[in-house]
Amino acid sequence: MTQATVGRRGFLKALAAGITAAVSLRMWRNATASETTGTSPHKWAMVIDQSKCVGCEYCTQACRAHNDVPPTIAWNRVIPAGKVGSKDVFLPRPCQHCEHPPCVEVCMVGASYRRADGIVMMDYDKCIGCRYCEVACPYGARAFNWEAFTGPNPAVPTWGTPEVERRPRGVPEKCSFCYQRVDRGLALGLKVGVDPEATPACVVACPTGARKFGDLNDPESEVSQLLAKHPSYRLREDLGTGPRVYYLPAHEEVAG
Amino acid sequence: MKTIKRWGLRRGVQLNAPTPYQWWLAALAAVMAAGASAGLIVFARGLVVTNLTDLVPWGLWIALDMSSIALSAGAFLLCAAVYLLGLKQFQPVARTATFVGLIGYSMAMLCLVLDIGRPDRFWHALVYWNPHSVLWEVTMCITLYFTVLALETAAQ
C-alpha cells in the first residue's frame, strides 16, 4: 500500500474550491438567464372587451382545436364574473403573458421563458414537470398533463389538423398567444391582428369581436387605439407582474 | 434451565423464533416494499394516481421531503462541526450523523424524483440552470450535500 499524497481533508478542500469556482462561473454566465434576451420591434398584447363577451366559449374551443389542447384542460377559460345591470359578465382568461412572469422566475431549468416580443413560452422538451410554475402563476393559467392525452381530440374538426405538437404526460401547458400563427404571419408579410391567418385563433373565432390582438408599439394598431380611447384594467396589477392582457370593463347599458 | 423456542419448518430444519428486533425489521421491510411498489406505480401510470389537481399541484408528500431535509441538515451540520471546525466532543456521534445525513438526503432526492412529471429528465436541473429559482437552489444544495456525504461515508 502506498501512502496517499492527498489526504481526505485536502481532497475535500480541493473539491469545495472546484465546485465553488464552477458555480461562480456558471452563475456569472447565467445571471440573466431568466430575463428576456434580445430585442424585438413588437410588443404583443390582447384586449378583451367584457361588454361584448357573451360567454359562448368559442375562444376556448378554437384554442383547443388549433393547439391540440385536451378536453380536460382549457388554455383560455371563460369564467362567469357576475352581473352588470341585468347582463351576465364573463372574464375570459388566457395566459396573461406578464412582463415580469413569476413562472419564468421560478422555473428551475429555464423551460418557461419570455420572448423579446413579450410572449411567455414553454419549452416542453426541457421541462421536468416540477409544477413550480403552476404554483407561482397568480392567474391559474397553467394546467398539468397528469395523464397522457391519447386518441383523437374532440375539439379538432375533421377538416383540419392542430398547428402545434401535442404535449406529453408530465409537463404543464398554457396559452402561447398562438405564437405559431404570429410568427408564420410575420414571415409571410401579413399584418398581425388584422389578417386572420396571423392572429391568435381565439381572436379570430370570437363571434362578437370582444377579443383584439396586436402590437402595442404600433400606435395605429387596434389594441393601441382601444387602450387610448377606453378605460382598461389588468388582472392583479398590484402584484407587479405587468400582464399584457388588458380588459375593457363591462358597463351599464344606457338607453338611447 | 432456559429453553429456546424453535420454529420447525420441515423435518430436520429448525430456526430460532424471531426476536422483537427481527419483527421490527420485518415491519420496516414491509413498509419499504409498499413504498417501492407505490413508487413504481407512480412511475408507470404517472402522477394522475396521486389525485393531485391543478389547484393543488403539490401534495402532502412534499412534507416528507422537507422532513428528511431537516433531519439530514442537522446531521450534516454536526458532521461539519466535527470534521471542519474540529469540535472533538461530538466525535462519538459524527459517524452516525454522517450516515443519517446520507440517508436523509437520498430520501429527499428519491421524493423529488417521484414528484416530478418527467423523472427521465431529472438531470436537466444540473445542466440547465436558472439561479433565480429557489427550487433550483434547493436541488443543487441537495445534490452537493449528498455528494459530500457520500464521499465522507465512503472515506470512513
CB-closest option in B117, B118, B133 to A107: B133
> What pLDDT is stored for residue A43 in this prediction?
96
| Residue range A86-112: mean pLDDT, rounded | 95
- Per-residue model confidence (pLDDT) at position A95: 97
Distance from CA of B110 to the nearest CA of A (A): 14
Q: Are A44 and A97 within 8 A, CB to CB?
A: yes
Quick one: pLDDT at residue B117?
Answer: 93
On whether the CB atoms of residues A171 and B117 are closer than 8 A, the answer is yes
Q: Give, in order, the Cα–Cα distances in Å from B103 to each of A19, B89, B145.
A: 23, 24, 11
Position A93 scores a pLDDT of 97
Predicted pLDDT at B9: 63
- For residue A220, the model assigns a pLDDT of 94
Contacting residues for A26 by C-beta, under 8 A, at least 6 apart: B129
B121 touches chain A (CB under 8 A): yes
Average pLDDT along chain B: 89
CA-based max dimension of chain A: 102
- Mark whether B93 and B121 lie in a shared domain: yes
CA distance A247 to A224: 13
Could you say which of A23, A109, A142 has the minimum Cβ distance to residue B128?
A: A109
* Count of domains observed in chain B: 2
Same domain, B41 and B57: no
Res B24: pLDDT: 96
Contact list in B for residue A31 (CB cut-off 8 A) is 131
pLDDT in the model for residue A15: 84
B95-128 confidence digits (pLDDT tens): 999 999 999 999 999 989 999 999 999 999 999 9
B60 and B94: one domain?
Answer: yes
In sequence order, what E strands does chain A have? 44-49, 77-84, 87-93, 112-114, 120-122, 143-144, 172-173, 211-215, 245-248
Minimum mean pLDDT range among A94-108, A196-210, B28-42, B56-70: B56-70
Q: Please say whether the beta carbons of A102 and A114 come within 8 A.
A: no
Share of chain B above pLDDT 70, in %: 91
- Stated as kind and residue range, the H or E segment containing B14 is strand B13-16
**Whether B87 and B131 share a structural domain:** yes
Task: Decide if pLDDT at B72 tops 50.
Answer: yes
Let me know if B113 is exposed, middle or buried by CB neighbors in 10 A (0-12, 13-18, 19+). Answer: middle
Q: Are residues B127 and B70 in the same domain?
A: yes
| CATH number of the domain enclosing A145 | 3.30.70.20
Instruction: Judge whether residue A173 has pLDDT over 50.
Output: yes
Q: Are residues B75 and B41 part of one domain?
A: no
Is the pLDDT confidence value at B2 over 70?
Answer: no
- pLDDT tens track for B124-154: 999 999 999 999 999 999 999 999 999 988 8
Based on the fold, state whether residues B5 and B59 are members of the same structural domain: no
Number of domains forming the structure of chain A = 1
Q: What is the pLDDT of residue A32?
A: 47
B139 contact A CB<8A: yes
Residue A91: how many other CB atoms lie within 10 Å: 17
Which residues are CB-contacts of A181 (< 8 A; sequence separation ≥ 6)?
A66, A163, A197, A198, A199, A200, A201
End-to-end distance of chain B based on CA atoms, in angstroms? 44
Q: How far is CA A89 from CA A53, A94, A229, A244, in A?
A: 7, 16, 21, 21
Provide the domain limits for residue A80.
34-248
Residue A93's CB is within 10 A of a number of other CB atoms, namely 21
Section A79-86 average pLDDT:
92
Residue A29's pLDDT is 59
SS3 A176: coil
Write out pLDDT tens, residues A178-189.
999 999 999 999
Is the minimum CB–CB distance between A27 and chain B shorter than 8 Å?
yes
pLDDT tens profile A32-67:
445 677 889 999 999 999 999 999 999 999 999 999
Residues B33 and B102 in one domain: no
Q: Does the residue A155 lie in any domain?
A: yes
> Does B117 contact A31 at a Cβ distance shorter than 8 Å?
no
B22 and B58 share one domain = no
Cell readout for A79 is 369564467
Please report whether residue A13 resides in a domain.
no
Model confidence pLDDT, tens digit, residues A120-167: 999 999 999 999 999 999 999 999 999 999 999 999 999 999 999 999
In 3-state terms chain A splits into helix, strand, coil percentages (rounded to 5) of 25, 15, 55
- On whether both B41 and B59 belong to a single domain, the answer is no
- The pLDDT of residue A85 is 87
- DSSP strand pairing (A44-49 vs A245-248): parallel
pTM: 0.83
- B113 reaches A (C-beta below 8 A): no
3-class secondary-structure state, position A14: helix
Chain B environment of A110 (Cβ under 8 Å): 128-130
Q: For residue A161, count CB atoms less than 10 angstroms from its CB and return exposed for 0-12, middle for 13-18, buried for 19 or more.
A: exposed
Per-residue pLDDT tens over the stretch A185-201: 999 999 999 999 999 99
Residue in A8, A9, A27 nearest the CB of B131: A27
Domain holding B70, by residue range, is: 53-155
Question: Measuring CA to CA, how many Å separate A180 from each of A58, A121, A173, A175, A177?
Answer: 20, 11, 15, 12, 8
Cross-chain CB nearest to B135 (options A31, A132, A172): A132
The verdict on B113 and B138 lying in the same domain is: yes
Q: With 60 as the cut, is the pLDDT of residue A30 above it?
A: no
pLDDT given for residue A20 in this prediction: 83
Within a domain: A11:
no
Among B61, B95, B112, B121, the residue to mutate for chain A (most A Cβ within 10 A): B121
Per cent of chain B over pLDDT 90 is: 66
Is the pLDDT reported for residue B8 higher than 70?
no
Q: How far apart are CA A77 and CA A142, in angstroms?
A: 11
DSSP string, A192-215: BTTBGGGS-HHHHH-TT--EEEEE
Residue A18: the pLDDT is 85
Tell me: do B65 and B16 sit in the same domain: no
